[in-house]
A and B are shown apart, each in its own frame.
Chain A
Amino acid sequence: MIEPDESDASDSDLLQRVKRGEADAFAPVVRRHLPSLRAFVAIHLPVPHLADEIAHEAFVFAFRRIREFDTRRPFRPWLRGIAWQLVRAELQRFAREQVNRSRLEQLQLAELTASLTPDAPPDEVVFLEQCLAELPPHLRRLIEDRYRHELTAAQLADQWGRTEEWVRVTLFRVRRQLRACIEAKLAGARHAL
């Protein structure tokens, strides 16, 4: 899954150093939080280049406003809050420009914008990581082959000795299973509150 970060220093220590002007101390923080932040943005704005742009912008914004951050608090929710504001702004901009989009994209956009709330939503990516770890090994391997090794459906079909249709439907089902797992964990978290 996510590569372990080589730095043992805590976010708090690193960010205090950043506050003192050591820009290099921000590098391990970026390395540590980039995959989950990208995933957080992507889950709410599933357009790859936009997800990267927003993740980029969120980190730069966080760096420039680091003096406002209380290093005794966890960094991830603060960063996620910044990214969420950027996602909302981007979706609202998209909504204004949807005239030339296909009917499906309009409907998708309506679904996404309807879910917008002022506060950042729960961190589904934490649950996604947990749910991935809970998958049966062969399905986990299929996911790894598809997303980490970026194999196409044709390559996967060849490797797994199946048809491309099987690969597409199986990936569809695994994602559905992951979604159900995340929903269950979110419901559990809400119940615990």
Chain B
Amino acid sequence: MPSEQQLADYLASALPDRERAEFEAELAAHPEALRELVEQRRLDAALGALLDPKSEPLEAAILASVRGATDEAIEARVLEATVFAKPVPSLRTAWLAMLNWLSGKTSWRWAGVAVVLVLLVLGTMSYWSAKRSGQHRQPGLELAGADRESELVRELALLVIEPPVWTGAEQQSAWLTALAAATASGGNER
């Protein structure tokens, strides 16, 4: 059976390595000594925790976590009202976004603009021609003033802010047509 001094030294990590290994080997054959060591370690840890003068950092960490729960809720609300809110861009924002998009280096964007301008000119000519002949009908024009403008701006902004991923010439053409139509209609309203 290990002595009281050996047990106390072992607990205090005061045994040299070699003695320590021998002691551990001996300990395995003495369950009552092992039990004593376990109880001593438990008491040592409990006394350390109970009388520890430096519990403030842990206390502060707990309170930070607890307050963090409230902050998380606040953050979620803020994100919901800002980042995850559906964008309602202004006319200026929409045009700036479009200009920003067009400022990219890809040449097809400028090609797209050229197509839009051509379509715009053709559309305008067609409109005046139809108007002169009294046959022009455009459902969008039934809306008037600021309502119609804001609706068009929303459509345009969606097209500009979220340019589609084109997989073929047909889609590209459809998108450009839509963009041209929106632009032309908006122009007509002014």
Q: Give the interface of A toward B (CB within 8 A).
A: 1-2, 23, 26-27, 30-31, 34-36, 38-48, 51-52, 55-56, 59-60, 63-64, 102-104, 107-108, 111-112, 124-125, 128-129, 143-144, 146-150, 153, 164-165, 168-169, 171-173, 175-176, 178-179
- Shortest A137–chain B CB gap in Å is 16
Known A-B contacts A144-B51, A165-B5; A102 and B24 likewise in contact (beta carbons under 8 Å): yes
Known A-B contacts A147-B47, A153-B14; A103 and B69 likewise in contact (beta carbons under 8 Å): no
- Shortest B47–chain A CB gap in Å is 5
Would you list which residues of chain B between 44 and 74 have a CB under 8 Å from chain A? 44-53, 55, 58-59, 61-63, 65-67, 69-70
The answer to whether A46 and B50 have CB atoms under 8 Å apart is no
Number of interface residues of B (CB under 8 A): 43
Q: Determine the main DSSP class of B at the interface with A.
A: helix
Determine which of B37, B40, B50, B52 lies in contact with A125 in the assembled complex, contact meaning CB atoms within 8 Å: B50
The answer to whether B8 and A172 have CB atoms under 8 Å apart is yes
5 smallest beta-carbon distances between A and B, as pairs: A46-B45, A38-B49, A42-B45, A172-B8, A43-B46
Q: Give the interface of B toward A (CB within 8 A).
A: 4-5, 7-9, 11-12, 14, 24-25, 27-28, 34-53, 55, 58-59, 61-63, 65-67, 69-70
- By a CB distance below 8 angstroms, the chain B residues around A124 are 46
- By a CB distance below 8 angstroms, the chain B residues around A1 are 50-51
- Shortest B48–chain A CB gap in Å is 5
The answer to whether A128 and B46 have CB atoms under 8 Å apart is yes
The answer to whether A26 and B51 have CB atoms under 8 Å apart is no
Determine which of A40, A56, A143, A169 lies in contact with B47 in the assembled complex, contact meaning CB atoms within 8 Å: A143
The answer to whether A104 and B66 have CB atoms under 8 Å apart is no
Determine which of A51, A108, A150, A165 lies in contact with B49 in the assembled complex, contact meaning CB atoms within 8 Å: A51
Determine which of B39, B47, B50, B58 lies in contact with A36 in the assembled complex, contact meaning CB atoms within 8 Å: B50
